[in-house]
A and B are shown apart, each in its own frame.
Chain A
Amino acid sequence: MSQSSSSPSLRVISLYEDVLNIYSDRGNRLAVQARAAELGVDVDVDLISIGDQLPADVDLVLIGGGQDREQEIVAADLLAKGETLRNWAATNVAMLAVCGGFQLFGRGFRNSKGVFLDGIEIFDCVSVTPNFGKLRFVGDVISKSSIEGLGMIVGYENHAGQTFLGESAIPFAEIEIGFGNNGVDRTEGVWRNSCVGTYLHGSILPNNSQLLDWLFKRAIEHRMSCDSNFDSVVLEKMSEHSKLSKASEFARQLILDTVRREQE
């Protein structure tokens, strides 16, 4: 925290955390803040909700999951922010969209009442809720990320919506245990540029420090591209062993072992 006093802050926004917060996805924001504190990076975290203006310039965007009703409540507001978010996604702003947020970051989502909510089209995917939501995909997930170097991703899924990827979309991970996007094609989530969409709670970033660092690094690179004063020594520090990544790695390994054992 000492060396960073002259370096500009990393800019993080968490969208609709007070509405889409049923599934502890605020843990992702807490993990980003804890990692930043450990690395001595200053972060400005803005909690952006319905009716709030987006800041001019952002490095990392977080959004979590919610129930049908809550998704309906944010959908129109998110559409109004859609163009800015799409531009950010195209210019390598880092993003993590989980569950309900992931569905709305795609082309759209038909919920259990049959209402179709338009998405903001950051990801090429469409989500639907078959069977009026009677069938839910619930349980532990183990998947292998298609992003180089991330390896196994652990988490917990609980969703009635099913997501189908378009032709241009790359799945974030391949399912080893669990259901994933739709329970059929073994895909889990989606990724593009510096943006990841996923169904995984847990929360996902505390339990997968390699994904946390991937997003964090891309957020820093984005800040450096905007702001030449940013101290790049942080990037070197990230590869060093840290208390947080050690604890996270330990938790991830135990979850991998336990879930695989229970599966047998």
Chain B
Amino acid sequence: MSVMGIFNVIRFELAICLGKCALFFSQIFRRGGGTAVSGLVATFIEPNIQQQISKILSREIIFVTGTNGKTGTSSLISQILRSKVDFVLSNSSGSNLARGVVSAYISSFGIGGIFKRRRQRLASVFEVDEAVIPSLSSRMNPKVQVFLNLSRDQLDRYGEIDSIASSWVQSLSSESRTLPDVLVVNADDPKLFSLIDTGYKKSIQTITFGLADLSVALDDSFDGQDRDYCSCGSQIRYEVKYVGQSGVWSCSSCDIRRPSPDVLATKILLENDRSYVEIKLAGHSETLGLTVHQQGLYSVYNVLAAISAAWGYGIHPVDSIHVIESATGVFGRQEEFLVANVKVKIWLAKNPQGLNEVLRTLTESNDAPLDLLLVLNDGIQDGKDVSWIYDANFEILDGKYKFLVCSGSRAHNLSLRCLIAGLEVVKSDSNIMSMLDFSLDRTLPTETLNIVTTYTGMIEIREDLASRTGVLPYWK
């Protein structure tokens, strides 16, 4: 090893060591999970730390990105990989910026991680923020890249959707990086077609996934849907829509259409607390059936993405299915608690598409009127701008709830939105804990209190429920 080489190793290990200290102290003082600050410290000492980590992982890296479903999909992929390799590194706490990768490394490996790769077979799964993926993928050169979907989210931070889409395509056209071996892309989302096209043109193995079951088609009466446009400028037409702008689409003038998905869900039965899915693989005649222990059609898309990603990584879907059927959920996403005999379920929703799917799942899967606590915060992680609530379909709740309570730092905007939708809000206050108590009091023992919340609200509520019920906070 050269002098420079030794210097680099020392600097790297020093960065990890100080990052570890930062993690330790921030947990003692309970400043959140401390997951972000440790990465920040380490990156300050070693600016090229992501490249180093990539080397240690020998590029055994899967990146997952998209507007919705990153955490759930990454968690499924991690669990599948865990059945095949010795250790899977992931940023499972949802810290998905460039420093989150570093934080994950620090909390899992600590000092001396550089020697671990010799003894163990390692793999890693990282969920990566939509805006960060181009720069981070050029530094870490992941082997597999998964693209889930793209819709409006936090426009105050990301700017326009089109610029995100083109930055993704550009990052695959860059000369300065090693291209991924495998691309996994949602074929049903027309905004992602240019990625599939780029994959084909660059001869990257491209695995697409999608749905083909008219029984779960989206009711098209909601008028807040986007029109989509092909790169030729003409309007995208749909045979059927499943979730948001995902469906069976084609351009109205050129010959671009939804590619035939390699991993296709041909039959879907959505039930109260699970879904049954049948999958057909390209080039295979038999179908595979599995039970997904999460509600909603969006969860089915996550499962298809995870199976495709694992397939691209060399794990056959039959093996993935066994893992998915017994997979554990992700914190704060359809997570259930039992508080003094009342069932509480937390749903995360932070953009119009995500909220629409949660509300659709709630109203379709429950016959009894809903007990609902809605929480809207405007922290940095939630988005400072709350305009988006007017793009979400609150109207769908009409006649479907027993009571509706609003809370969060923007409770007043949320209750106004409900009023405009013609809904009756029984109480609204910015104090989340008092509204949680109020809602719990009104929920009967046989019922479920459903809490639909933005990110920081979820963290706050989850921590409170965890302390009441003895469940560990996410960073333990």
A19 and B389: CB pair below 8 A?
Answer: no
B225 within 8 A of A: yes
B162 within 8 A of A: yes
A84 within 8 A of B: no
B422 and A251: CB pair below 8 A?
Answer: no
Cβ contact of A24, chosen from B160, B162, B391, B421, cutoff 8 A = B391
A19-B227, A26-B223, A251-B412 given as contacts; is B162 within 8 A of A69 (CB)?
A: yes
- B-contact bits for A9-24, CB 8 A (1 contact / 0 none): 0000000011101111
Give the 10 A-B CB pairs with smallest separation, nearest first: A27-B390, A24-B390, A24-B387, A251-B412, A34-B420, A67-B160, A24-B391, A201-B387, A18-B227, A203-B390
Q: Could you tell me the distance between the alpha carbons of A45 and B457 in the complex, rounded to whole angstroms?
A: 36
B379 within 8 A of A: no
Per the CB 8 Å criterion, the residue count for chain A at the interface is 39
A67-B160, A69-B162 given as contacts; is B391 within 8 A of A26 (CB)?
A: yes
New A-B contacts (10) at CB < 8 Å, excluding given A23-B155, A24-B352: A19-B227, A21-B224, A24-B390, A24-B391, A26-B391, A34-B422, A139-B156, A201-B387, A244-B420, A251-B413
A68 and B422: CB pair below 8 A?
Answer: no
A29 CB, nearest partner CB in chain B, Å: 9
A30 and B416: CB pair below 8 A?
Answer: no
Q: Could you tell me the distance between the alpha carbons of A22 and B390 in the complex, rounded to whole angstroms?
A: 11
* 12 sample A-B contacts, Cβ–Cβ < 8 Å, listed by A number: A17-B223, A22-B161, A24-B388, A27-B417, A30-B390, A34-B422, A67-B161, A68-B160, A140-B384, A206-B420, A247-B419, A250-B412
B148 CB, nearest partner CB in chain A, Å: 20
B154 CB, nearest partner CB in chain A, Å: 11
Interface bracket on B: 20 to 34
A254 within 8 A of B: yes
A69-B229, A202-B387 given as contacts; is B224 within 8 A of A26 (CB)?
A: yes
Q: Which residue of B lies closest to A18 (CB)?
A: B227
Q: Could you tell me the distance between the alpha carbons of A70 and B419 in the complex, rounded to whole angstroms?
A: 31
B128 CB, nearest partner CB in chain A, Å: 23
Residues of B within 8 A of A (CB): 152, 155-156, 159-162, 223-227, 229, 233, 352, 384-385, 387-391, 412-413, 415-417, 419-422
B415 and A27: CB pair below 8 A?
Answer: no
Q: Which residue of B lies closest to A200 (CB)?
A: B387
Q: Could you tell me the distance between the alpha carbons of A69 and B231 in the complex, rounded to whole angstroms?
A: 10
Residues of B within 8 Å of A136, CB to CB, are 159
A37 within 8 A of B: yes
A251 and B390: CB pair below 8 A?
Answer: no
A257 CB, nearest partner CB in chain B, Å: 11
B225 and A22: CB pair below 8 A?
Answer: no
Q: Could you tell me the distance between the alpha carbons of A70 and B420 in the complex, rounded to whole angstroms?
A: 27
Q: Which residue of A lies closest to B428 (CB)?
A: A247
B416 and A206: CB pair below 8 A?
Answer: yes
A22-B152, A30-B390, A202-B387 given as contacts; is B412 within 8 A of A254 (CB)?
A: yes
Residues from 20 to 55 in A contacting B, C-beta threshold 8 Å: 21-27, 30-31, 34, 37, 47
Cβ contact of B419, chosen from A47, A67, A140, A244, cutoff 8 A = A244
Secondary structure class of chain B's binding surface, majority of residues: helix
A158 and B225: CB pair below 8 A?
Answer: no
Q: Which residue of A lies closest to B233 (CB)?
A: A73
A23-B155, A24-B389, A206-B420 given as contacts; is B160 within 8 A of A73 (CB)?
A: no
- B-contact bits for A214-253, CB 8 A (1 contact / 0 none): 0000000000000000000000000000011001101100
A248 and B416: CB pair below 8 A?
Answer: yes
Residues of B within 8 Å of A27, CB to CB, are 387, 389-391, 417, 420
Q: Which residue of B lies closest to A204 (CB)?
A: B387
Q: Could you tell me the distance between the alpha carbons of A24 and B224 in the complex, rounded to whole angstroms?
A: 9
Residues of A within 8 Å of B155, CB to CB, are 22-23, 158
Q: Which residue of A lies closest to B413 (CB)?
A: A251
A247 and B162: CB pair below 8 A?
Answer: no
Residues of B within 8 Å of A47, CB to CB, are 223
Q: Which residue of A lies closest to B392 (CB)?
A: A24
Residues of B within 8 Å of A140, CB to CB, are 384
A158 and B156: CB pair below 8 A?
Answer: yes
A207 and B420: CB pair below 8 A?
Answer: no
A67 and B420: CB pair below 8 A?
Answer: no
Query: Which of A18, A27, A207 has its CB near the most chain B CB atoms (within 10 A)?
Result: A27
B184 CB, nearest partner CB in chain A, Å: 26
B417 and A206: CB pair below 8 A?
Answer: yes
Q: Could you tell me the distance between the alpha carbons of A37 and B395 in the complex, rounded to whole angstroms?
A: 15
Residues of A within 8 Å of B387, CB to CB, are 23-24, 27, 156, 201-203
A80 within 8 A of B: no
Cβ contact of B416, chosen from A73, A138, A156, A247, cutoff 8 A = A247
Residues of A within 8 Å of B422, CB to CB, are 34, 37
- B-contact bits for A55-98, CB 8 A (1 contact / 0 none): 00000000000011110010000000000000000000000000
A221 CB, nearest partner CB in chain B, Å: 24
A41 CB, nearest partner CB in chain B, Å: 15
B223 CB, nearest partner CB in chain A, Å: 7
Q: Could you tell me the distance between the alpha carbons of A243 and B159 in the complex, rounded to whole angstroms?
A: 35
Residues of B within 8 Å of A37, CB to CB, are 422
Q: Which residue of A lies closest to B391 (CB)?
A: A24
B420 and A18: CB pair below 8 A?
Answer: no
B229 and A73: CB pair below 8 A?
Answer: yes
Q: Could you tell me the distance between the alpha carbons of A182 and B297 in the complex, rounded to whole angstroms?
A: 44
B181 CB, nearest partner CB in chain A, Å: 32
Q: Could you tell me the distance between the alpha carbons of A244 and B420 in the complex, rounded to whole angstroms?
A: 8
